[in-house]
């Protein structure tokens, strides 16, 4: 990580990792698959036993079968070596199949956990977090764990068991040569630990840079980004920014993979020199007495050494990989540890959809986005009878949209209450709230799917007739029907195949399809021309019969017939009444009306 001056800030990363990552938590990822892991452990132990037994058979061949010319014993021992090799091959295949299945299951579970947790976070998180950063955590960081959970973890267990059992076998075979061989272990472990620490911090910084690059791609290669770059003549500037970011990622990748390489080469040198030194020491220990080392023992010891050194090096390398994986887990668990601010209570109230009336009430509601700043909404009280039409108006920044967020429970109020049919929105089940309230925003979002799929996002089981009816109410059916593929037309990314007004009408049709008792229209007709807006207003008037409608509007022509108009200023209600009553007051509403003429 880097500080505000661009210098490496290792303490910040250390604190992040210590706060979010522990061995117990990392191992907890594998808990649902304990049965398969137990099978893998049994296979690993069998494979290790087979590997350890082979040098002892080799010693018997050299010291007993060959000198005595016992062909029967030689054939038996040779068949034993072949059988052990075959057993090891079969176990290896089964182990790979099981470890791959477990690894992918762990990654799937983790991806789903992160995605579901992010879905439960408040709107504030997404307002302050880049989309590319979120994508990077789910795709790049979790993807980076693939090697660990699918290969490294099982290989570490297998190699560790081979190391332990081989060390025991070496002690049984010849304890003096064994202890001499073990002298390299502490040095190798210390060096690998140092290399792991260095690469861990670099990996965390590297993933942060990858997230930067992902965010840049997300922002600049979207439809809006391309239009902005072309119309501003800034494509070359964006190319230079991307080149600089990509070069930074590449440089960090090189550093992350080569850091500590000189120290690692020391381990290689010592491990490569160990067999030669063992042969020298073994030669010195040879002799006619009972404690002397035989040629067969020396050959078997060298074979066990070879069997020890490669797994030992793999264990040390796995230790380095696990340290770097800790950096990925720190970023993933950091998201999982973000508190869920909007929760459904265990005893949440579920309203009968058929008996919902749609009465809405705000009582002395206050809310602020940050404790250090003045509240955005300050003591607002509004009573909206079921079936009525209420409009919220005011200058930019007066708090209209924030009130909409509170009504939809995208945020919870700091004080006061928002109630539907007399039930506090915080006590309602999520399903009851979505059954009650339909929201259409000024910036409608469409998926890169067909028109029909976008509409059915609100009601998956909707029939074609229902789609057409909703589209007709929203005055968009004729436009869709005129397309070559009709309702099967793919709308493109963020609906770019349609105009702003058409996207608003598609969004409105999607909400109409749900048939909510309360409609919240946040500048829902802002992108429409005057004629379409009037036609849609008449359609909404028909739709709003026996339905509560809350309109957040800047264009006051859309709300002059509302039953009640609430005027906001600085997060407070400053005026309320009908259009005629507010004009008669000649206050803020009258001024807003004159300014929009």
Please tell me the pTM assigned to this model: 0.69
Question: Do both 406 and 504 map to the same domain?
Answer: yes
Q: Are 196 and 324 in contact (CB under 8 A)?
A: yes
573 vs 294 pLDDT, higher one: 573
**Average pLDDT along the chain:** 80
Q: How confident is the model at residue 392 (pLDDT cuts 50, 70, 90)?
A: very high
Tell me, what's the pLDDT at 289?
63
Mean pLDDT for 262-282 is 74
Tell me, what's the pLDDT at 361?
93
Running DSSP on this structure, what letter comes out for residue 354?
G
Which CATH number belongs to the domain containing residue 181 in this structure? 1.20.1560.10
Question: Do both 415 and 312 map to the same domain?
Answer: no
Domain, as residue range, for 427: 353-595
Q: Please list, in sequence order, all residues whose beta carbon lies within 8 angstroms of the beta carbon of residue 346, skipping any fewer than 6 positions away.
A: none
Tell me, what's the pLDDT at 7?
42
439 - beta bridge partners? 520
Query: What's the residue count for the chain?
Result: 597
Running DSSP on this structure, what letter comes out for residue 463?
-
Question: Do both 365 and 307 map to the same domain?
Answer: no
Please write the tens of the pLDDT for every residue from 325-342: 787 888 888 888 888 888
Domain count within the chain: 2
Question: Do both 384 and 321 map to the same domain?
Answer: no
Q: Are 331 and 207 in contact (CB under 8 A)?
A: yes
Backbone angles phi, psi at 112, to 5 degrees: -65, -40
Tell me, what's the pLDDT at 384?
92
Tell me which of 303, 336, 369 is where a domain ends.
336
Cα separation of 385 and 227, whole Å? 45
Per-residue pLDDT at 304 exceeds 90? no
Question: Do both 319 and 379 map to the same domain?
Answer: no
Residue from 491, 492, 507, 497 nearest 442 by CA: 507
Q: Examine residue 1 and state whether it is found in any structural domain, yes or no.
A: no
Question: Do both 154 and 29 map to the same domain?
Answer: yes
Which CATH number belongs to the domain containing residue 441 in this structure? 3.40.50.300
Please write the tens of the pLDDT for every residue from 528-585: 566 666 666 666 666 666 789 898 887 677 788 888 999 999 899 999 999 898 888 8
Q: Examine residue 348 and state whether it is found in any structural domain, yes or no.
A: no
Please write the tens of the pLDDT for every residue from 89-101: 887 777 777 777 8
Question: Do both 366 and 297 map to the same domain?
Answer: no
Question: Do both 301 and 389 map to the same domain?
Answer: no
Per-residue pLDDT at 2 exceeds 60? no
Question: Do both 39 and 86 map to the same domain?
Answer: yes
Tell me, what's the pLDDT at 415?
92
| CB contact burial 261-278 (16+ within 10 A = b; e otherwise) | eeebeebeebbeebbeeb
Question: Do both 318 and 412 map to the same domain?
Answer: no
Structure tokens at 522: 């946040």
| CB contact burial 46-61 (16+ within 10 A = b; e otherwise) | bbbbbbbbbbbbbbbb
| Coil, helix or strand at residue 427 | coil
Q: Phi-psi bin for 578: left (phi > 0), alpha (psi -120 to 50), beta? A: beta
Tell me, what's the pLDDT at 568?
92
Please write the tens of the pLDDT for every residue from 280-292: 777 777 766 645 6
Burial of 74 (0-12, 13-18, 19+ CB in 10 A): middle
Question: Do both 251 and 362 map to the same domain?
Answer: no
Q: Are 70 and 64 in contact (CB under 8 A)?
A: yes
């Amino acid at each position: 990580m880097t500080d505000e001056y661009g210098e490496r800030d290792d303490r910040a990363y250390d604190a992040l990792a210590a706060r979010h990552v522990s061995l117990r938590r990392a191992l907890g990822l594998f808990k649902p698959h304990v049965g398969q892991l137990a099978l893998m452990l049994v296979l690993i132990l069998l494979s290790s036993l087979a590997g350890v037994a082979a040098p002892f058979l080799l010693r018997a061949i050299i010291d007993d079968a060959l000198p005595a010319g016992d062909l029967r014993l030689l054939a038996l021992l040779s068949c034993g070596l072949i059988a052990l090799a075959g057993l090891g091959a079969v176990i290896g295949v089964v182990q790979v199949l099981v470890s791959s299945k477990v690894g992918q299951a762990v990654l799937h579970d983790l991806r789903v956990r992160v995605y579901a947790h992010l879905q439960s976070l408040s709107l504030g998180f997404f307002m302050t977090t880049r989309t590319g950063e979120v994508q990077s955590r789910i795709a790049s960081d979790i993807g980076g764990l693939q090697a660990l959970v699918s290969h490294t973890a099982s290989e570490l267990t297998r190699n560790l068991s081979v190391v332990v059992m081989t060390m025991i076998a070496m002690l049984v075979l010849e304890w003096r040569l064994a202890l001499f061989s073990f002298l390299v272990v502490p040095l190798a472990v210390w060096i690998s630990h140092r290399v792991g620490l260095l690469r861990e911090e670099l990996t965390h910084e590297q993933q942060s840079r990858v997230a930067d690059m992902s965010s840049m791609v997300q922002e600049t290669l979207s439809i809006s980004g391309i239009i902005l770059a072309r119309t501003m003549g800034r494509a070359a500037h964006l190319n230079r920014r991307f080149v600089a970011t990509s070069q930074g990622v590449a440089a960090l990748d090189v550093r992350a993979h080569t850091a500590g390489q000189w120290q690692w080469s020391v381990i290689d040198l010592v491990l490569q020199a160990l067999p030669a030194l063992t042969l020298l020491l073994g030669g010195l220990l040879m002799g006619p007495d009972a404690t002397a080392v035989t040629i067969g023992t020396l050959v078997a010891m060298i074979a066990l050494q070879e069997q020890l050194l490669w797994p030992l090096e793999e264990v040390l390398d796995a230790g380095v990989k696990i340290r770097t994986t800790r950096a990925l887990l720190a970023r993933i668990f950091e998201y999982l540890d973000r508190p869920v601010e909007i929760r459904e209570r265990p005893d949440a109230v579920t309203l009968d959809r058929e008996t919902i009336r749609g009465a809405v009430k705000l009582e002395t509601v206050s809310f602020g986005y940050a404790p250090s700043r003045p509240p955005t909404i300050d003591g607002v009280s509004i009573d909206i009878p079921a079936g009525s039409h209420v409009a919220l108006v005011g200058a930019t920044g007066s708090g209209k949209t924030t009130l909409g967020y509170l009504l939809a429970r995208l945020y919870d109020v700091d004080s006061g209450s928002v109630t539907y049919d007399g039930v506090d929105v915080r006590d309602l089940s999520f399903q009851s709230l979505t059954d009650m309230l339909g929201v259409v925003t000024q910036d409608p979002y469409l998926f890169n799917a067909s028109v029909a799929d976008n509409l059915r996002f609100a009601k998956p089981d909707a029939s074609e007739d229902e789609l057409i009816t909703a589209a007709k109410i929203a005055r968009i059916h004729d436009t869709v029907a005129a397309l070559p593929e009709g309702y099967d037309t793919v709308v493109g990314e963020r609906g770019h195949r349609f105009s702003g007004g058409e996207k608003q009408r598609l969004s409105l049709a999607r909400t109409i399809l749900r048939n909510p008792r309360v409609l919240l229209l946040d500048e829902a007709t802002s992108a429409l021309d005057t004629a379409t807006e009037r036609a849609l207003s008449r359609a909404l008037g028909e739709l709003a019969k026996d339905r509560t409608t809350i309109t957040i509007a800047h264009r006051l022509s859309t709300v002059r017939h509302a039953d009640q108009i609430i005027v906001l200023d600085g997060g407070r209600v400053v005026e309320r009444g009908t259009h005629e009553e507010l004009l008669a007051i000649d206050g803020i509403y009258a001024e807003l009306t004159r300014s929009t003429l």
